[in-house]
Amino acid sequence: MNSSLIIVEILVALLGLGVLLADLWLPVERRRLLGWVAAAGVAVVFFVGMKDAAEVAYAFAAPGAKTGMYVLDGLAVFFKQFFLLAALLVILMTTEYAPKLGSGVSEFYSLVLFALLGMLFAASANDLVLLFAALELITITFVVLNSFRRDQTASIEAGVKYLILGATASAFMVFGMALVFGAAGTTNFNEMAAVQKAMGGSPIFLAGLVMVLAGLFFKMSLVPFQAWAPDVYQGSPAPATAFLAVGSKAAGVVLLLRLLFGAVPEIAARWQHVLGGLAALTILYGSLCAIPQRSIKRLLGYSSIANAGYLLLGVVAMSKAGASGVLFYVSGYLFTVLAAFTVVSVILARTESDDLSSLNGLSQRSPALAGALAVAMASLAGVPPMAGFVGKFLLLKPMVPLAAADPFLACVLVAALVGVVISMYYYFGIVRAAYWGQGVADLTPIPTSWAVRVALLIGVAGILWLGILPDALIQASTPAVEVLKPQAPVAQQHSGDR
């Protein structure tokens, strides 16, 4: 057993426990320092603890097995760095939002660290059991984080909705895992890959797989499991929403990639059309429903649904190019969403309403915040030279040859392009409010703390860096997906084959 592989997870768990315990001895007025301690700890782990995975290493194997339930490979390292960076930015964002959180600030930091722990394990899950344990750790932590503002009904509502719907999704997933284990006799992804040919015709195995996918789709907020997202995004405290949008979604993405392309690539290839249809519906649903929204957080909730659809598009391509496109897109999404939510949480720390009109006059109150928001929105809309543009390009490019050969996938591609055009409208609605919003009563400048400046700087720099010089990340994400084995669907011998 090679337990030294999980050193990063152990450090993060110790950091979380340390923050939780430090709260007991620190005087109230110094508790805000804990945010800096947590951020510094995550930064140290990010820069020191992460090493490139030279080769695929397994840990926590059954005695005598070649493979284990924990895997450390390029994909795992890529996503671990992703999650650590996301948590770092979220903690920096929280230091600004802290006065609104009341007495539980240090618990908030330690819960963010525990959610990060779950995500780090999810990045390395090579077994359905570990997948479930990691996802549950993430879900339960987010239930608490979402309902953290107990003085607000909306926050309690968000927590309760996430709890009930999340528990339902988990129940489906566990049932699905039981069916998969019953049919295949294993929960390990490598062992599942060895028997997938035989399992392709087993209805019990396929039903189990569909139910596991339903649980993952819930985490990613894909249609038809998206209904929770707008309410939960709107009600939760802004830093929790940001972490939910980036971290929880990315955990779903990495598990989806591992399950579909690591464990059952042949079956995944047969489901190309179903997944493509879901991606198109998700993009259109998210984009169309975002148009009439007035609440910033709700709008970003619908935008996150649409973005989940784009991420699924990279899976539909059933190729390594698509998978590495997913990695690039989700990285760009990290910087973009965290920059946007940092601005939103600074504004929400001053006002209760998150209506679009609260952005009015932002360009005069704080040019830096308005500029960062504009860059983030342009990136979400996919305007060059932002990260979002390159990301969408990399996701759509592998779809083009497929669409040329397959009319259904051509429709999916068209839906994705229509979604991009629609999204321009509502993203620039936010920019318009920030720069040209009318009827501003209060033009006092908004001061920004160092933490916010650092978080915004990282976010904007990341957006521009990925947009202008995407090569570095493309070169990092290409070897990361080497462990995945997506299979192109067999040429369709039956016409009208689903």
Q: How far is the CB of 141 from another protein (least distance, A)?
A: 5
Nearer to another protein, 18 or 385 (CB): 18
Rule CB under 8 A: which residues touch another protein? 6, 13, 20, 59-63, 69-70, 102-104, 107, 110-111, 114, 117-118, 121, 129-130, 132-134, 136-137, 140-141, 143-144, 147-148, 150-151, 159
The encoded tokens of residue 433 equal 């409010």
The Cα-based distances of 355 to 208, 352, 441 in angstroms read 42, 9, 15
For 234, residues 6+ apart whose C-beta sits below 8 A from its C-beta are 154, 158, 295, 297, 298, 301, 354
What is the identity of the amino acid at 330?
V
Nearer to another protein, 189 or 310 (CB): 189
Calpha distance 60→116 (Å, rounded): 20
Nearer to another protein, 69 or 370 (CB): 69
CA 65-66-72 angle, to 5 degrees, is: 120
For 494, residues 6+ apart whose C-beta sits below 8 A from its C-beta are none
Nearer to another protein, 72 or 315 (CB): 72
For 198, residues 6+ apart whose C-beta sits below 8 A from its C-beta are none
Q: How far is the CB of 331 from another protein (least distance, A)?
A: 26
Q: How far is the CB of 271 from another protein (least distance, A)?
A: 28
DSSP state, 218? H
Nearer to another protein, 159 or 467 (CB): 159
What is the identity of the amino acid at 191?
E
Nearer to another protein, 65 or 474 (CB): 65
The enclosing H or E element of 287 equals helix 272-290
Q: How far is the CB of 49 from another protein (least distance, A)?
A: 18
Q: How far is the CB of 318 from another protein (least distance, A)?
A: 30
Helix (H, G, I), strand (E, B) or coil at 127: strand
Q: How far is the CB of 107 from another protein (least distance, A)?
A: 5
Nearer to another protein, 70 or 78 (CB): 70
Nearer to another protein, 2 or 449 (CB): 2
Q: How far is the CB of 27 from another protein (least distance, A)?
A: 16
Q: How far is the CB of 309 from another protein (least distance, A)?
A: 30
Q: How far is the CB of 150 from another protein (least distance, A)?
A: 6
Nearer to another protein, 117 or 268 (CB): 117
Calpha distance 94→90 (Å, rounded): 6
Calpha distance 366→398 (Å, rounded): 41
Nearer to another protein, 148 or 310 (CB): 148
Q: How far is the CB of 105 from another protein (least distance, A)?
A: 11
The encoded tokens of residue 419 equal 């979604």
